[in-house]
Amino acid sequence: MHSGPRERIQPQQRMTSYVSQVLGPTLARGDIVVVDNLSAHKTQDVRAAIADTGAQCFYLPPYSPDLNPIEMAFAKLKALLRQAPPRSVEALWRKIGELLDRFRPTECANNFNAAGYLHSF
């Protein structure tokens, strides 16, 4: 058990570190990073870390399920999971992995198009 004082890392610092150390090295010039409106995602440091890679930030509008492409994907995933037989946690994770393989890039692009965002890319 930890008995000493713990340093608390603010969400903004955590996000900046994530972009710099994990996401940033995977990005290339012209890539687009779709970001929600959590305040930690909108700091100048996060924007700069993404811009330094040559990628662009694309901010989603305030939450609206009909305008959020990930909600469309989640709806499909949940519908497919409901068709699966009763399962253990392990089997559930395996099934999710299998089902995610059904999501094709064109379908994901269609989700963005249906939400009205594709023209922005």
Over residues 84-99, the pLDDT tens digits come to 887 788 988 999 999 9
54 and 79 part of one domain:
no
Q: Which of 55, 47, 25, 46 is nearest to 121 (CA)?
A: 55
83 and 113 part of one domain:
yes
No. of helices (H) and no. of strands (E), the chain? 5, 2
Alpha-carbon distance of 29 to 114, in angstroms, equals 26
46 and 97 part of one domain:
no
Share of residues in the chain with pLDDT > 70 (%) = 89
Share of residues in the chain with pLDDT > 90 (%) = 44
* Whether 58 contacts 120, CB under 8 Å: yes
* Whether 55 contacts 48, CB under 8 Å: no
28 and 5 part of one domain:
yes
Euclidean distance between the first and final Cα of the chain, in Å?
A: 49
Give me the pLDDT at residue 59, please.
86
* Whether 76 contacts 51, CB under 8 Å: no
How many domains does the chain divide into?
2
Average pLDDT over residues 17-46: 91
Alpha-carbon distance of 92 to 27, in angstroms, equals 31
pLDDT at 103 over 70: yes
Domain range spanning residue 121?
63-121
Give me the pLDDT at residue 18, please.
92
39 and 77 part of one domain:
no
Q: Is the dihedral of CA 86, 90, 94, 99 positive or negative?
A: positive
Confidence band, pLDDT 50/70/90 cuts, at residue 7 = low
